[in-house]
């Protein structure tokens, strides 16, 4: 694999200021998954019954058969659970985003009316609540189109948000290609929204959650009673709220299902958490669409730019071939590595180039060292340095030496090269002439092995500083 598609970089420990409305320290967002009537069922033309997220431990699909117990569990969500949750949220004036499976919404007109009258956002949860992992790409694309059509027919307006849930590796790309959505939520990889580029389009991603989610009542390693759920939500809220107070506001997503949290033995825990969160100041309770619109306004999609990991080899070498002085072979080899989004920063490209430099033979590394000019040497005087070296030496005042200083540098340069076989190398940025002379005099007393290692470290440091002038941090 030459190009690694997964993004391990994200905001890199430097998240943007969320700037939530009203100076909120946290955005707490509730999702109600409405899947009842859209699950696997032979009545729906599926090959087998549903086996996912129910009260039945170890449920298995029944090929060609209706599963009466499973159907009735899902029906509980529509018949009872939904209305309990509807009253819980509307009585507290907390808005909800519904992830609505299109076929489920079509079978629940009363619930759809209640969602709309409450002012809830109804996002798309796909056409059917089924697995997509093995679905051919063209078939999934067709289902997305049909989900949008049916959703629009049932609710009167197209969905602005999308979450498949049981998605495939193609889902986010396919939804992005429709250019129909303000956000997509089929990721779990951050505490803030972010932009993802695909097929020339920037798609806003609002990550979802599987941890602060009542689905864990239906899995073996999950919650066993409501108090565990409440405590987990409280701990998540407290952590994110504290981060917000410290100046880094985040988003908290809570995932709910009518047939799970809608049961009376669990609903009390949710109500307890709602009241706990409401007692805090500077808490924003938005829909996901409100978050999307806020983020697009405050943090609009970035302008297109040439990402290092996506550059053709010639362009990559042209741009980065001089970062290690006169040593384009380093960039040539680095381009052959497994590059990805994590390498689209100064630190990322530096890591790739430095790995090549470190793994090179001693003779090759010596060649990089000898490619560097003497400090304030003959090449500088003849104005034959690279633009980078010229700027670096000038920044340290080495282009304006006194006659006495020039004599001193010349003597040290000659003594250093005679002893080590390569020029004295130091990252001069931020240093004065006196700092450089002091380092020169100190390091000339090193042994060759020690000094070779020190020079290599300085070469890497120079490369990093150059890259920081070229790329985002």
Q: Which residues are catalytic?
A: 372
- Side-chain half-sphere exposure of 161, counting CA atoms within 13 A: 26
DSSP E strand boundaries for 178-224: 183-184, 194-198, 201-205
Structure tokens at 162: 């999308």
The token pair at 129 is 């609540």
Do 32 and 85 form a contact (C-beta atoms < 8 A)?
yes
82, 85, 91, 95: CA torsion to nearest 10: -90
Strands of 371-454, DSSP E: none
How would DSSP label each residue in 64-103? TS--HHHHHHHHHIIIIIHHHHHHHHHHTT---EEEE-HH
First to last CA, the chain: 26
- Residue-by-residue DSSP string for 27-48: EEEEEEEE-TTTBS-GGGT-SB
**Residue 177: which of 207, 130, 135, 145 has the closest Cα?**
145
User: 10 with 236: CB under 8 angstroms?
Assistant: no
Compute the distance between CA of residue 214 and CA of residue 77 in angstroms, rounded to an integer.
13
């Amino acid at each position: 694999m030459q190009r690694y598609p997964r993004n391990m970089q994200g905001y890199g420990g430097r998240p943007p200021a969320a700037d939530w409305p009203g100076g909120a320290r946290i955005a707490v967002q509730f999702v109600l998954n409405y899947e009842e009537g859209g699950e696997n069922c032979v009545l729906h033309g599926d090959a087998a019954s549903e086996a996912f997220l129910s009260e039945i431990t170890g449920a298995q699909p029944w090929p060609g058969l209706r599963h009466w117990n499973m159907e009735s569990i899902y029906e509980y969500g529509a018949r009872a659970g939904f209305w309990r949750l509807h009253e819980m949220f509307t009585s507290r004036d907390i808005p909800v985003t519904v992830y609505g499976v299109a076929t489920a919404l079509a079978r629940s007109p009363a619930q759809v009316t209640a969602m709309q009258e409450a002012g809830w956002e109804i996002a798309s949860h796909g056409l059917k609540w089924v697995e997509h992992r093995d679905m051919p790409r063209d078939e999934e694309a067709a289902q997305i189109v049909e989900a949008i059509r049916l959703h629009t027919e049932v609710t009167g307006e197209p969905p602005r948000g999308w979450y498949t849930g049981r998605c495939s590796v193609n889902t986010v790309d396919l939804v992005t290609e429709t250019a129909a959505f303000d956000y997509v939520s089929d990721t779990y990889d951050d505490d803030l929204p972010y932009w993802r580029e695909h097929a020339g389009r920037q798609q806003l991603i609002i990550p979802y959650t599987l941890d602060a989610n009542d689905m864990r009542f239906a899995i073996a390693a999950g919650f066993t009673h409501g108090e565990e759920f409440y405590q987990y939500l409280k701990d998540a809220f407290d952590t994110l709220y504290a981060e917000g107070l410290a100046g880094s506001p985040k988003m908290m997503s809570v995932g709910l299902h009518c047939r799970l949290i809608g049961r009376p033995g669990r609903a009390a825990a949710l109500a307890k958490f709602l009241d706990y969160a409401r007692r805090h100041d500077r808490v924003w309770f938005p829909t996901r669409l409100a978050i999307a619109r806020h983020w697009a306004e405050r943090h609009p999609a970035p302008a297109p730019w040439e990402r290092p990991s996506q550059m053709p080899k010639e362009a990559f070498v042209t741009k980065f071939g001089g970062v290690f002085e006169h040593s384009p072979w380093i960039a040539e080899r680095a381009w052959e590595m497994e590059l990805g989004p994590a390498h689209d920063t100064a630190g990322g490209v530096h890591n790739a180039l430095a790995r090549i430099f470190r793994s090179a033979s001693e003779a090759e590394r010596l060649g990089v060292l000898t490619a560097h000019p003497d400090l304030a040497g003959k090449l500088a005087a003849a104005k034959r340095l690279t633009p980078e070296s010229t700027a670096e030496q000038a920044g340290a005042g080495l282009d304006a030496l006194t006659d006495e200083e020039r004599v001193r540098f010349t003597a040290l340069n000659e003594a250093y090269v005679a002893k080590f076989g390569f020029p004295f190398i130091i990252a001069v940025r931020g240093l004065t002439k006196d700092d450089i002379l002091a380092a020169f005099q100190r390091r000339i007393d090193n042994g060759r092995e020690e000094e070779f290692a020190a020079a290599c470290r300085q070469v890497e440091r120079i490369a990093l500083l150059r890259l920081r002038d070229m790329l985002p941090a």
